[in-house]
Amino acid sequence: MLYALLMYQDADFDAQWERASEAERAAVYRLHGDFSTLLESRGAIRGGEELAPVTTATTVRKQDDTAADAVVTDGPFAEVAEHLGGFYVVEARDLDEALEYAKALPVRTVEVRAIITDDQRPPE
C-alpha cells in the first residue's frame, strides 16, 4: 500500500527555523537524509517534499466545490496549533510498516494516511 506521512510542526516552528543557525539546519536535514536512506534501503520511497513556511500560505475558498468565484486570503485554511510542514510518500506492506517509518521520522507529530490508488477506484 501507499501511505502519506504528513509531518506536523508546532505553530512556532517556522520562527525557530528562521532563527536556527546553518549548523542547526544542517543537522535537521541530515536526520531527514538518514530517514531517506532508510526508506531507500527498503525500496520504500515514493516521494516527499518540504513545504515553505505556513506564514507564506495562501488559501483559496469557493462557495462550493465547483463554484466559479473564489475568495483568496492570506494564511493557512485554519488557525490550528500544528501545521503541515512536509510529507513523504512511502510504499509499505501494511499500516504496521508505515507506522514504523512514521516513528523513525525526526518530527514530533506525523499523521499516517493510506493513499487511494487507481485500482481501488471504480473502473471508468
Q: State which residue, 54 or 114, has the beta carbon closest to another protein.
A: 114
Q: Which is nearer to another protein, 50 or 94 (CB)?
A: 94
**Minimum distance from residue 117 beta carbon to another protein (Å):** 8
Query: Toward another protein, which CB reaches closer, 44 or 92?
Result: 92
Report, in Å, the least distance between residue 37 CB and another protein: 20
Could you give the CA distance from residue 97 to residue 85 in angstroms, rounded to a whole number? 22
Q: Confirm if 7 and 109 have CB atoms less than 8 A apart.
A: yes
State the nearest-atom distance from the C-beta of 2 to another protein, in Å.
10
CB of 122 to another protein, least distance (A): 5
Q: Provide the binding-site residues for another protein, judged by CB under 8 A.
A: 1, 3, 92-96, 98-99, 112-114, 117, 119-123
* CA–CA separation, 62 and 16 (whole Å): 33
